[in-house]
Structure 1
Amino acid sequence: MSFAELPALLAEALAARGYAAPTAVQAAVIAPEAVGRDLIVSAQTGSGKTVAFGLAMHPELLGEDGKIAPTREPHALIIAPTRELALQVSRELIWLYGPTGARIATCVGGMDAAKERRQLNYGAHIVVGTPGRLRDHLERGALDLTALRAVVLDEADEMLDMGFRDDLEAILDGAPDTRRTLLFSATMPKPIVALAKRYQNDALRISTVGEDRGHGDISYQAVTVSPSDIEHAVINLLRFHEAETAILFCATRDNVRHLHATLVERGFSAVALSGEHSQNERNHALQALRDQRARVCVATDVAARGIDLPTLTLVVHVELPRDAETLQHRSGRTGRAGKKGTAVLIVPYQRRRRVEMMLKGARIPVEWVDVPSAEAIREQDRERLITALLAPVEIDEEDAAIAERLLAERSPADIAAALVRAHRAALPAPEELSSQGDRREERQAGQHRPGFDDVVWFRMDIGRRQNADPRWVLPLICRRGHITKNEVGAIRIGPNETSFQIPRALASKFIAAVARTTEGEEDVRIEQSDAPPAQGQGQGARPQRGGPNRPAGGPGAPRHQAKPYRKAPPARGPSHR
């Protein structure tokens, strides 16, 4: 079925927004066999499902003349899991149904409830809201469901995951049995199946997963870093891609706040979205992204759900998602409506195996790449700068007058150099990530550097059998002992034990710091060694502590991932001197 077969006003609204032909999910829900039936729809994020359910319910909303049927009570109810998604749905339905004369009311937490009640009392044809606020209006008598003809549950699986089952059941129990129920869910876990069985009648199953775009419009990349270099990796990824709009995902509000402050301090135009922000603050942040006053958004999973930004081309998973489903929801913020996007996972060294298994299980193709180096970023900057400065521009009389004055006082070469310098000065500086490549062989061989003639040996109860690797062992030593990587001498990794040098002048300070930081973090023990390890491969190892069940990803791996930058060294320079 094509858009031409829809009521004229809807077809005109779609054409005005640039919709030439329906996507797979849109064609499926308006096909003759779907008209008038309950639907269970599985579709990828970004496949046009908001417009799809908007079109699917048009027979219940429009009269024979193609205009909205007169009513005081709502005829359609759309329930979404978050405020942002509900507001996004409202914006879509306003342009789609606006020409028909439809009145649309939005009811979400964090907004003025009294104003929402006035809208409902005035009369709304379509109501869009979150479960908690809708139930509140229902119980207060402000929301009348007696004339309801269609109910849409958008991202139903997410609503159940967020604990809205009771609210959904209260709303659906209050709606007429004759209504249509359209259930949109990216996945079909058992709770969704049970919900459909209880509240739907002979529902038609529609699945377009893999037909609309799958992963085709998103390029997945992964980079491995030391936990202490995660912030540096974020900065270099932003600088390398220079996306028009980028979103960075963190696991907690604290980490959103910390990373946002770091980026602003470094000169990035960034906004933050998390549960601690009011609805007004969220609206301002999203508007700043749409207006291009900000180009980077740091967000938690819940705050970012439902965000639809046409210019969003880069998603960075600063902290790893809890599962492949969350990874796809996050990454689905980009690569929408046929546009290309890039999703990058920042993976601490000790978590790579787990991430590889998750991606393989989800059949997500990923390219493992290096974090962009400072030189690679500068090369990209040069190409982008030349392209920008050679692009044709319109010059008015004032611009021409200033140019003539500059040419009279300076040579063209001087003016061009000043222009380049001005452009480059506005760019945040890239970071040099700490690299153990040059010094690893030196440490493993036990060679002394200047200042390490008088040292104290320490040992840790981890070794090769626990996947000990200098790339994450060195940052662990620095974090526990409150020292820099340049204050660590040779590192020798044995089967079950790792030994390392600390200058004798710093030994007392190191011991005191380790004693303080070990509290509540017993996964790795650090203690002074009575004698240097034997030459070769870290001989003198004692039996492994913690038994055979130590995590294969390296000791303390979950803890390092949970707080990737709260305990990291300062963000200036690789040596942290």
Structure 2
Amino acid sequence: MNFPPLPASLEAALAERGYASATPVQAEVMQPEALGRDLVVSAQTGSGKTIAFGIAMAGELLDESDTIPFSVQPLALIIAPTRELALQVSRELAWLYSKAGARVATCVGGMNPQQERKALRSGATIVVGTPGRLRDHLERGALDLSALKAVVLDEADEMLDMGFREELEEILDATPETRRTLLFSATMPRPIEALARRYQRNALRIATISEGRGHGDISYQAVTVSPPEIENAVVNLLRYHEAETAMLFCATREKVRHLHSTLQERGFTVVALSGEHSQSERNQALQALRDRRARVCVATDVAARGIDLPSLSLVIHVEIPRDAETLQHRSGRTGRAGKKGTAVLIVPFSRRKRVESMLRNAKVSAEWTDAPDRDAIKAKDRERLLEKLLAPVEVDEGDKVLAERLLAERTPTEIAAMLVQAHRASMPEPEDLIANTPEARREAQKDRHRPGFEDTVWFRMALGRRQNADPRWILPLLCRRGHITRNEVGAIRIGPDETFFQIPRPIADKFAEAAARSAQSDGDEDPVTIEMSETGPREVARGNRRERSPHGQAGGPPVKAKPRFKKFDKAKGKKNGKPGKPFKGAKNSSKTERH
């Protein structure tokens, strides 16, 4: 065994499980400088960190005979963000410390709290739980942390993202100051740094995540598609890769429900995980994946946290992650423990720039490609079938008799073709996708317009973000000035010093006349100018690259524009003459668009 010297009980347990060598994070926590110290460890999920902190806290738990002495109060506490991760950690520590006489208790939401309190009273030496349930037991007096020697925060960044800061602080404040604190996190944002400063002493930083990529064992692909083709792209990606287990990530439970139904209709063995499922349903879904009764899981970000499926080799981001950290957390479900995995982002044409920026922030290099088409999938099917049929097999007498009869009635070519058809019949049919061409992208851009906005005229207003332009008050202004309804206004694009918006061509002249009349009768001394624009929002793009003079001409020194409007304050019921607050969503973007 390629491990540093370990207590005999742990060494025997690792050998029994077939552990031959330590992973990088396991090797780092066993270095002499790490012994007995508080640790802040940056480690990806699937890197062997459960065994790492199990080994790291052995010095605090084991006595001279390499066993855990009896204690009524817990000696070690492990806090995990989700039920699945807590149960997984509990199982790992149970076998790791089985020969040392450990008693492991698990406290998670969705389980019977009375049974958990009974296990705590019987003398659990290691307690694993989620923040909410642990705090509940602590407040009820069932969890006594006065004898605690080590506490582990597993995936601390996810716990903070899920809003467990108060629970964590209450639990940690109830532990002895002499306890050892081990903090494991895939990312190290500022809240994690603050937590470490408050609850750790002279902590040693250990980083085992590569700087070049978010996860070295994952190959990333970005697939560009037309927005209406997203579900068809999902079908073809699943068929092309034919992964033993695949996980599909969606942003909402409604999308999970819809995609789950769609894939079921098309013949995939699929389960769903979201906030609307009970713990029993979640357990059944995960067991179906482990038993190979299901091969696809559709899940939300929160519902999939802490899930460890050894056979998971494909992650598909059906909806784009909200940031680089979410991208890494989702993708980290695959490529675990040295195994290779693939993460695919499905990117609508219009979202490519945003995804490119996200990949740069995550320090991930992705291959940009098209979704696999029917021909590519059939070629893959042929390769897989050949590999399967050419593999050595044991043939009994009954099979030989059947083979001879088939050869007597059919030619070898016909038999091979029937085998191919039988193999293909058990798989969902691939989808025909629109080719990823400039013409298709232009057509997809047209499809983004609402009905009735296929033919529009661009209008221009002489104010923009520097004057605090905001769609929330621009839209009522256009309706009042142009005598139209909000449903007759198309896209609104706000630039630095001007705003463009669309009006359907059939009512454009009527709108222009009404806007001119209302400007003359408006009580404002300096009304907002509304006029037709021949160039449209291209001027916005140019304005974002250089400053403009007060008269709209390029060049000249930048001039701070004076607000030229009065904002209607609904709370006061009158015009307050103050500029509106900048629109939050447009603070750092080059344009704000309303559809």
Alignment correspondent of 1:358: 358
Aligned residues: 495
Give me the whole-angstrom Cα distance separating, in 2, the residues matched to 1:288 and 1:323. 31
Alpha-carbon spacing, 1:437–1:191, altered in 2? closer, same or farther (3 Å): closer
Question: In the alignment, is the contact (CA less than 8 A) between 1:353 and 1:553 conserved in 2?
Answer: no
Structure 1 residue 311 corresponds to structure 2 residue 286: no
Structure 1: segments with no counterpart, 5+ residues? 441-468, 483-487, 498-514, 532-539, 560-577
Q: Give the letter aligned to residue 330 of structure 1.
A: R
Q: CA deviation at 1:541?
A: 6.5
The separation in 2 between residues aligned to 1:516 and 1:217, in whole angstroms, is: 54
Counterpart residue identity of residue 279, structure 1: Q
Q: Tell me which moved more, 231-240 or 191-200.
A: 191-200
In structure 2, which of residues 438, 447, 455 is the aligned counterpart of residue 475 of structure 1? 447
Instruction: State the TM-score, normalized to the length of structure 2.
Output: 0.77
Aligned partners of 1:203 and 1:372: how far apart in 2?
49
* Distance in 1, Cα, partners of 2:489 & 2:58: 59
Q: Are 1:4 and 1:11, in contact at CA under 8 Å, matched by a contact in 2?
A: no
CA distance in 1, matches of 2:385, 2:486: 46
CA RMSD of aligned residues (A): 3.2
For residues 375-524 of structure 1, what are the structure 2 equivalents within 5 Å? Answer: 375-407=375-407, 409-435=409-435, 437=437, 470-477=442-449, 480-481=450-451
Q: What is the CA–CA distance in structure 2 between the aligned matches of 1:207 and 1:36, rounded to whole Å?
A: 18
| Contact 2:456–2:504 (Cα < 8 Å) also in 1 | no
Which amino acid is 2:162 matched to?
M
Residue 4 and residue 435 in structure 1: after superposition, are their counterparts in 2 closer, same or farther (change >3 A)?
closer
Moved more, 138-147 or 319-328: 138-147
CA drift of 1:348 comes to 0.9
Query: Which residue matches 2:12?
Result: 12
- Indicate whether 1:334 and 2:334 are aligned: yes
**Cα distance per residue 1:469-488 (max 9 Å; x no partner):** 514323325xx449xxxxx9
Partners of 1:395 and 1:519 lie apart in 2 by: 72
Name the residue aligned to 2:346: 346
Q: Which amino acid aligns with 1:475?
A: D
CA drift of 1:370 comes to 1.1
Superposed displacement of residue 437, structure 1? 4.0
Q: What does residue range 83-162 of structure 1 map to in structure 2 within 5 Å?
A: 83-162=83-162
Counterpart of 2:55, as a letter, is L
Counterparts of residues 537-556 of structure 1 (less than 5 Å)? 542=534, 544=536, 548=540, 555=593
8 Å contact from structure 2 (residues 29, 53) kept in 1: yes
Cα distance in structure 1, aligned partners of 2:264 and 2:368? 28
CA-to-partner distance for each residue in 1:487-523, whole Å, 9 max, x for gaps? x9xx9999999xxxxxxxxxxxxxxxxx999599865
Query: Matches of 1:182 and 1:111 in 2, distance apart?
Result: 26
Structure 2 Cα separation of the partners of residues 315 and 46 of structure 1 = 15
Q: Secondary structure at the match of 2:316?
A: strand
* 1:245 partner letter: T
**Post-superposition CA distance 1:178-224 (Å, at most 9, x none):** 21111112222232222222211222222222189853211111011
CA–CA separation in structure 2 for the residues paired with 1:430 and 1:472: 21
Deviations 1:369-415 (A, max 9, x none): 11111111111111111111221222334434444554455454443
* Paired position in structure 2 for 1:460: none
Q: What is the letter of the counterpart of residue 470 of structure 1?
A: R
The residue correspondences of 1:223-242 to structure 2 (distance < 5 A) are 223-242=223-242
Q: Give a deviation string over 1:393-446, Cα, whole Å, max 9, x none.
A: 223344344445544554544433332221110111111112374966xxxxxx
- 102 and 542 in structure 1: CA distance in 2 versus 1, 3 angstrom threshold: same
Between the aligned residues of both structures, percent identity stands at: 65
Where do residues 525-536 of structure 1 align in structure 2 (5 Å cutoff)? 525=502, 527-528=504-505
Q: Map of 1:132-211 to 2, 5 A cutoff?
A: 132-210=132-210
Partner SS, residue 72 of structure 1: coil
Supply the distance in 2 between the matched residues of 1:364 and 1:493 (Cα, whole angstroms).
Answer: 40
Task: Give 1:451's aligned residue.
Answer: none
Equivalent position of 2:302 in the other structure? 302
Q: How does 1:76-87 map to 2 (within 5 A)?
A: 76-87=76-87
Contact 2:289/2:295 (<8 A) preserved? yes
Q: Is the 8 A contact 1:44 1:212 kept in 2?
A: no
Are residues 69 and 416 of structure 1, via their aligned partners in 2, closer, same or farther at CA, if it must alter by over 3 Å? same
Q: Structure 1 residues 281 and 61, CA, compared in 2 at 3 Å: closer, same or farther?
A: same
Residue 12 of structure 2 aligns to which amino acid in structure 1?
A: E
Letter in 1 for 2:364: I
Distance across 2 between alignment mates of 1:89 and 1:259: 31
Answer yes or no: is the 8 Å Cα contact 2:455–2:505 preserved in 1: no
Given that 2:44 and 2:215 are in contact with CA atoms closer than 8 Å, whether structure 1 keeps it comes out as no
Deviation, 1:291, is: 1.3
Counterpart amino acid of 2:429? Answer: A
Q: Once the 2 structures are TM-superposed, how far is the Cα of residue 308 of structure 1 from its aligned partner?
A: 1.4
Q: Which secondary structure state, in structure 2, belongs to the residue aligned with residue 5 of structure 1?
A: coil
- Separation of aligned partners in 2, 1:496 and 1:233: 37
TM-score (norm 1): 0.79
Query: Alpha carbons of 1:346 and 1:196: their partners in 2 closer, same or farther (altered >3 Å)?
Result: same
Greater alpha carbon shift after TM alignment, 85-94 vs 340-349? 85-94
Alpha-carbon separation, structure 2, partners of 1:418 and 1:103:
57
Deviation at 1:25, TM superposition (A): 1.4
CA contact (8 A) 2:224 2:436 kept: no
> 1:390 is aligned with what amino acid?
L
Amino acid at match of 1:135: R
1:287 is aligned to 287
CA distance in 1 between partners of 2:37 and 2:422 (Å): 61
Instruction: Tell me, yes or no, if the aligned pair for 1:145 and 1:174 is still in contact at 8 Å.
Output: yes
Question: Structure 2 vs 1, CA of residues 494 and 212 (structure 1 numbering), >3 Å: closer, same or farther?
Answer: closer
Q: Is the 8 A contact 2:237 2:371 kept in 1?
A: yes
Cα distance in structure 2, aligned partners of 1:554 and 1:493: 18
Residue type at the aligned position of 2:343: A
**Contact 1:76–1:150 (CA<8 Å) still a contact in 2?**
yes
Distance 1:288 1:316, change over 3 A: same
User: 1:224 is aligned with what amino acid?
Assistant: T
Q: Secondary structure at the match of 2:297?
A: strand
How far the C-alpha of 1:555 sits from its partner, in A, is 4.4
1:196 match: secondary structure: helix
Is the contact between residue 274 and residue 303 of structure 1 (CA under 8 Å) also seen in structure 2? Answer: yes
AA aligned to 1:184 is: F
CA contact (8 A) 1:38 1:201 kept: yes
